[in-house]
Amino acid sequence: MKTIVIFYSYTGHAKALAQKAAEKESADIAEIRDLRRPSKFRAFALGCFAAVRGKSWPIQPLGTDLAAYDRLILFSPIWAGNTPPAVNALLEQVPENKTVLVKAVSASGSSACKERIEAVIKPRGGHLESFENIKS
Ligand SMILES: Cc1cc2nc3c(=O)[nH]c(=O)nc-3n(C[C@H](O)[C@H](O)[C@H](O)COP(=O)(O)O)c2cc1C
């Protein structure tokens, strides 16, 4: 099973955890980047507004063909209880029939997005193997 670690990180916590996981798994790693990095105000206002509604916003091309992997380990920060819009954009691009493991990184260690992630990947044959909340 070929595995890739993917992460989005606004302040560095998810990035550090993703890098450790990629080393441990000897896996490739790719970063989800906003098309334009949002200001703090934009992240908290528009970003949280979008996150709560499960909306995406534009991201840069990942630069890696996800179709070449069987298993995706996704490290995502939690914004307003949910995955940030950049992560939602990536989830919409996950190719068919992938096994996905999500590590939700937040200050509180709780989130409300597991079912929504499943709902996005399931119609394309995706399988959410695990969902873990991690307190940063
Ligand atoms: C815009 C924004 C919204 C956030 N909303 C939440 C939240 O609802 N619950 C929570 O526990 N932490 C929240 N946090 C804190 C982050 O989830 C936490 O600091 C996480 O570790 C950040 O990961 P990062 O450093 O990789 O960006 C929020 C942070 C930001 C920037």
- Residue 1 Cα to ligand 1 midpoint, Å, equals 31
- Looking at residue 3, its pLDDT comes to 98
Neighbours of 116 (CB within 10 A): 14
**Do 101 and 22 meet the contact criterion of CB atoms below 8 Å apart?**
no
CA of 68 to the centre of ligand 1 (A): 30
Spatial distance between the Cα atoms of 21 and 31, rounded to a whole number of angstroms: 13
Instruction: Report how far ligand 1's centroid is from the alpha carbon of 5 (Å).
Output: 20
Ligand 1: which residues within 6 Å by Cβ?
Answer: 9-15, 43-44, 47-48, 77-81, 105-108, 136
pLDDT in tens, 29-69: 999 999 999 999 999 999 999 999 999 999 999 999 999 99
**Which residue, by CA, sits nearest to atom 7 of ligand 1?**
80
44 CA: nearest ligand 1 atom: 1
CA nearest ligand 1 atom 27, residue: 10
Q: What is the pLDDT of residue 68?
A: 97
Nearest atom of ligand 1 to the alpha carbon of 17: 26
Task: Give me the residue spans of the domains in the chain.
Answer: 3-135
Which superfamily is assigned to 3-135 in CATH?
Answer: Flavodoxin domain (3.40.50.360)
Tens-place pLDDT, residues 73-112: 999 999 999 999 999 999 999 999 999 999 999 999 999 9
From the CB of residue 115, how many other CB atoms can be counted at a distance below 10 Å?
Answer: 10
Query: Candidates 5, 11, 74, 103: which one to mutate for ligand 1, based on the most atoms within 8 Å of Cβ?
Result: 11
Query: Residue 56 has what pLDDT?
Result: 98
Give me the helix-helix angle, 114-121 and 85-93, nearest 10°.
30
pLDDT digits over 115-134, tens only?
999 999 999 999 999 999 99
